[in-house]
Every structure is written in C-alpha cells, then in structure tokens.
Amino acid sequence: MSSADLARSLGVFCERPDRSLEPVAAALGLEVPDREEHTALFVLSLPPYASIYLGPEGRLGGQAREIVGGFWRAVGAEPGSEPDHLAALLGLYASLRERSEDAASEAEGVLAVEAVRALFWEHLASWLPAYLLAVRARGGAYAAWADLAVAFVTDEARRLGPPAQGSIHHRSVPSAPDPSSDEDFLDPLLTPVRSGIIVTRYDIAALAADLGLGMRMGERRYALEELFAHDAEGVLQGVAELAARWVRRLEAFDRVLAPALDHWRRRAAATQAAFTLL
C-alpha cells in the first residue's frame, strides 16, 4: 500500500463504521469496530478534530480551525465545514502526496513536496502523536488502528525530514496550568496545547475511583470541580501522576518526531511540576 493510500485509509477508518469500511479494514489488517465503540471513542471521548488539541480554547473550532482552513485554501483546496477532522486532513495529505508524485514539472513537484511537508509538520504531527497516545491508553477496538497510525506518522517524519521551524500552533501558547497561582486552572488543564496532556472522561473516572469517590455525570470540568471540592489534595496529586505518565509516554516516541513532540513534553512536565504537592 502506498503512503498516500495508507493515509487515506487510516482517515476513513476513524469515520462512522458501516459495510463500506470492510474493504478498508481488510487492507489495514483490522477488524471493523461496531458503532457503539466508534461513538464511545470518537464522539464522547476523543473527537478527532485538530482544533480541540491545538487551539488555545481547547474546543472545537476557533483559531486552530481557521489556521487549518487557511492551509486548505493556500494549496488550492476547498476546506469544507470540518477542515480539521482527521479523516479530512489525512485525505488532503494523500492528495498532496499524489500531486507531488504526478507533477508535470520539477518546479511543480518541489512545490507539492513543500506543501506535503507543511501539512505534515504544521497540522498533523503537531497533535496526532499525542492524540494517538490517548487512543492507545483508552484501549479497545481502535488501539490497533492507533498503532498503525503511529507507525505511519513516524515513517513519514523520517521520510520528510525535520521542519525548518516549529508548528504555528505551538507558538505563543498561553501558559501551562498552575493551581498555585491560577484562580481558574481547570480550563488550562483541559486545554491540551497548554497542559501537554489530554484528560479524558476515563482519566477522571479512574481518578475518582482511586480517591474512593463517585463521578458525577456532566462535562469534564464539572466532574473535576466536584472531585476537587471533596478531595483537593488527592486531585492535585492524581493530576501530577497523570502528567508524569504523559511525560514518559511522550519520551518513548521515536526522536524523529521530536520537532512536534517537544512542545507537548515540555508542557506535560510543567503540568506535572505545578501539580506535584511539595
């Protein structure tokens, strides 16, 4: 399978499963997950949108989506309503790879290769490896898909070589969360590009269980607020331990991805230090 075909197939696999996914799954050597598994992961826990993991708001849309949409237009493509969805980005990546291979002239080929490199380092590698770590930690039917995607991203980083500079999404990011100085540290904590970690509902449920507390239904912030009200010290320590696990996971990646992951590792380490009880 070519690199372009693999990119496109990995993207399609994270969309809502139906019978049309069967040949894609067969080509990847994966089982087709059921719709409940898809909803639990990609809708309720880890929506595959770059803006959630790269935007300073930590939410769908916003500044990061605008930047991604601008890239689509810069390469002459229509961004559509969800330009930052992983399937869309991997589809665009595949198209640009094919454009670089089928270029009519050397100059066109060079421009296409630069577009491929920019898309990869700016809008894919800048968040996808960390996202795949969270999918792996969740386990279940999509863990094998995440393993394939990690191998793909690593291979592409090695083939393309390092970028000239870090991703635009990692520049001028607001500070990491600090419970000792921030009156409201929960929003920064739940903003991945600021904290360097991706806190899922499963992480919060595990923390609640460790503290011997129940987890209230509702958004992650509300659930954390409730836990903090009952055991502030336990929540701080639990977050520090979660951040420490993220640091170890990020450091385990192939160093070829360092240009993208160094931001995440530094922020995760800062979060760990800020939440560690002295």
Strand partners, 204: none
Integer CA distances (angstroms), 22 to 12, 17, 28, 33, 149, in order: 11, 9, 10, 10, 18
High-pLDDT (> 90) share of the chain, %: 73
pTM for the model stands at: 0.93
**Residue spans per domain, the chain:** 3-165, 186-275
Is 10 within 8 Å of 131 (Cβ atoms)?
no
List, for residues 125-184, the tens digit of each pLDDT value. Answer: 999 999 999 999 988 889 999 999 999 999 999 999 999 888 999 998 998 898 988 678
Is 140 within 8 Å of 37 (Cβ atoms)?
yes
List, for residues 97-128, the tens digit of each pLDDT value. Answer: 988 777 666 667 678 889 999 999 999 999 99
Tell me what pLDDT residue 141 has. Answer: 84
> 269: which residues sit within 8 A by CB, 6+ positions away?
196, 243, 247
Tell me what pLDDT residue 136 has. Answer: 92
Burial class of residue 261 in the structure, from the number of CB atoms within 10 Å of its CB (0-12 exposed, 13-18 middle, 19+ buried):
buried
Range from 19-23, 46-50, 154-158, 238-242 carrying the lowest mean pLDDT:
19-23
Tell me what pLDDT residue 147 has. Answer: 96
List, for residues 43-85, the tens digit of each pLDDT value. Answer: 999 999 999 999 999 999 999 999 999 999 999 999 989 999 9
Structure tokens at 175: 């500070």
CATH of 3-165, one of 3.30.2290.10, 3.40.50.300, 1.10.10.10, 1.10.3480.10: 1.10.3480.10
